[in-house]
Amino acid sequence: MGVKIEGTATVVKNAGSHFLLSELPAWNPFPALLKGKVRLRGSDSTNPVAVGDKVRYSYDQDPTVENPASIVEVLDRKNYLVRRSTNLSRQTHVVAANIDMAYVIVSLFFPEIKLPFLDRILVTCEVYGVPVTIVLNKIDLYAGEVPEAIEHFMEIYRGAGYEVIATSCKDGSGIDMVRERCKDRINLFCGESGVGKSSLIKAIDPALSPKIGKISAAHLQGRHTTSLYEMYNISTGGCIIDSPGLRGFGLVDLKKEEIATYFPEMLKVADGCRFTPCTHTHEPGCAVKAALEAGTISPERYSSYMGMLEDDRKFR
């Protein structure tokens, strides 16, 4: 009989009931399965264990695909990004956990940006304590033709208090900045399908793909998965969590009267409202409505806010 080994590691890949763990900051992925009693926790979530989670594990001999380690406990999270499942509206889905910085990747066109969708992600980051940066990707496709559209987008989100980095994988714009920001951090890259997340990751570290591909093949040989959440180890230090393209983003555990407090530009002026609480919709003496009329709060962001008030089950 071998000696039972126990330790703490981070989930670096989630493939349904199969996982890869690594004892970060060292990069030494090994396979693991989820114990049934752990699986029952967080039953309102489609994935009680997410990439980025720190877990306790045990095994009797060196873990292999045939003899994986067992996840016996999920440790407390410092933060996480969660959304309501679009096809199972009563359930939630944790995108990633223990995130140092979330990068929401968007493009103005190809695919065309949906501001309400972006704003739902930003609000959720605010709710769950996830620092967030917006990456406006593919600027080589439209910088010369619609510079005013770029400027307007920047005005909206920088005016709301968010950092926006413009990038292009084709000409290298902004790549060095994102690479430097990712150093020695756990970073989440998320966004709609087609915005260029994978290309951006490869531009940040061209050596990533073969390393990740090798791990994927060893762990998932013979298994079919429709979506994978995985963490990449980057050569400059730190990791990037890549998530499948999101098609919708439902808000979770957020009361309607709380929504405005997670719009930084609204929170900044809300103390000036005549009435408390104020929905910022019809009340006289509303400081948020005054800021909207003065142009310091954008109509696009206010429209997103109204959409969240009207229907908290709306995904786009």
Q: For the domain 5-74, what is the CATH superfamily, name and number? A: Nucleic acid-binding proteins (2.40.50.140)
Residue 316 has pLDDT above 90, yes or no: no
User: Do β-strands 5-15 and 30-34 pair in parallel, antiparallel, or remain unpaired?
Assistant: unpaired
**Could you read off the pLDDT of 133-173 as tens digits, one per residue?**
999 999 988 767 778 889 999 999 999 999 999 999 999 99
Looking at the DSSP bridge assignments, the partners of residue 92 are 45, 84
What is the per-residue pLDDT across 233-265, written as a single tens digit (0 to 9) for each? Answer: 999 899 999 987 776 677 777 888 899 999 999
Domain residue ranges in the chain: 5-74, 80-242, 256-310
Superfamily of domain 256-310: Probable gtpase engc; domain 3 (1.10.40.50)
Q: What is the pLDDT of residues 259-283, one digit of tens each?
A: 999 999 999 999 999 998 899 999 9
**pLDDT single digits (tens) 120-130:** 999 999 999 99
Is 80-242 a CATH 3.40.50.150 domain?
no
Query: Using CA atoms, how far apart are residues 166 and 134, in angstroms rounded to an integer?
Result: 9
Is it the case that residue 35 has pLDDT exceeding 80?
no
Whether 158 and 166 have beta carbons less than 8 Å apart is answered as no
Poorest-confidence range of 79-88, 94-103, 133-142, 255-264? 79-88
Q: Given pLDDT bands bounded at 50, 70 and 90, which one contains residue 43? A: low
Same CATH fold assignment for domains 5-74 and 80-242: no
Name which residue leads in pLDDT, 277 or 42. Answer: 277
Strands 132-136 and 101-106: parallel
| Lowest-pLDDT range of 35-44, 117-126, 190-199, 243-252 | 35-44
> Average of pLDDT values for 107-125?
92
Q: How do strand 5-15 and strand 229-233 relate by DSSP bridges? A: antiparallel
One-letter amino acid for residue 157 of the chain? Y
